[in-house]
Amino acid sequence: MNLAIVLVTAAVLALGMILRLAVTQSLQAKRSASLAGAIRPIDIEAFRNLTDPAEESYLRHRLPPAQFRAVRRERLRAMAAYVYIVGSNAAVLVRVGETARATGDARLAEAAQQLVNDALLLRRNAHVALARIYLALAWPNSDFAAVRVVERYEHLSGAAMLLGRLQNPAVPVRLSA
């Protein structure tokens, strides 16, 4: 009896989620006008500073262990906030790329495809990096590197710039502050 109730509840919840995701995705395909405003520029220099292993090592040697852990947690929280924005920007750029692909302009298609692929990789990396950051928050003494996310973001920004140039040579593009 209890098992059946659990399964029925799970099925109803799953149905609700599937319908919600389906509606969201079909609406998403139709909305493209407000995409540009959704990109939040990030300070890549500050982000690189946060992920710099030399900086990390310096703090580890200079601070007492308890203070180092507290500082590291603060830095990890800041890092998580940056990575979250990077992931959100990547999601917006996937949609920007998809919309550009849908215009049917052959000149844009290649740059748009490149942007979509890079943005997807970045979103995946951001997701993995966030998981590692939260893990590191639980164990502040563990080693952690988010360098790949930084590298990917730089690469992605190049692809976005190329697409922006192709779409409108007069309007430049900014992904970082």
Partner 1 sequence: MLQAHSPLWHYLWVAPNLLLLILALVIWREKLHKRYSVFLFFAVVTAIEQLTVYVADVLPSVSPVAWYHIFGGGLLVEALLKFALIGQIFGILLGTYPSLAKFGKLLTTGVGVALVLLASVVAAYTPKNNIYWIVSGVHVFEQTIYLIECGLILFLFGFAGYFKLRWSRPAFGITLGLGISACVHLATWAMMANPDFSALYHVSLVFLNMATYQVCVLIWFYYLLVPQKSVTTSAVFLPENNLDIWNRELERLLQQ
Among 10, 70, 145, 147, contact with partner 1 (rule: CB under 8 A): 10
**Per-residue binder mask for partner 1 (CB under 8 A), 112-131, x = binder:** ----xxx-xx-xx--x----
Q: Within 80-119, which residues bind partner 1 (CB under 8 A)?
A: 91, 94-96, 98-100, 102-103, 105, 116-118
DSSP state letters, the chain: -HHHHHHHHHHHHHHHHHHHHHHHHHHHHH--TTSGGG---B-HHHHHHHH-HHHHHHHHHHS-HHHHHHHHHHHHHHHHHHHHHHHHHHHHHHHHHHHHHHTT-HHHHHHHHHHHHHHHHHHHHHHHHHHHHHHHHHSTTS----HHHHHHHHHHHHHHHHHHHHH-TTS---SB-
Residues 12 to 71 in contact with partner 1, rule: CB under 8 A: 12, 14-15, 17-19, 21-22, 24-26, 28-30, 32-33, 35-37, 39, 41, 44-45, 48
Please report, as ranges, the residues that interact with partner 1 according to CB under 8 A: 1, 3-4, 7-8, 10-12, 14-15, 17-19, 21-22, 24-26, 28-30, 32-33, 35-37, 39, 41, 44-45, 48, 91, 94-96, 98-100, 102-103, 105, 116-118, 120-121, 123-124, 127, 154, 157-158, 160-161, 163-164, 167-168, 171-176
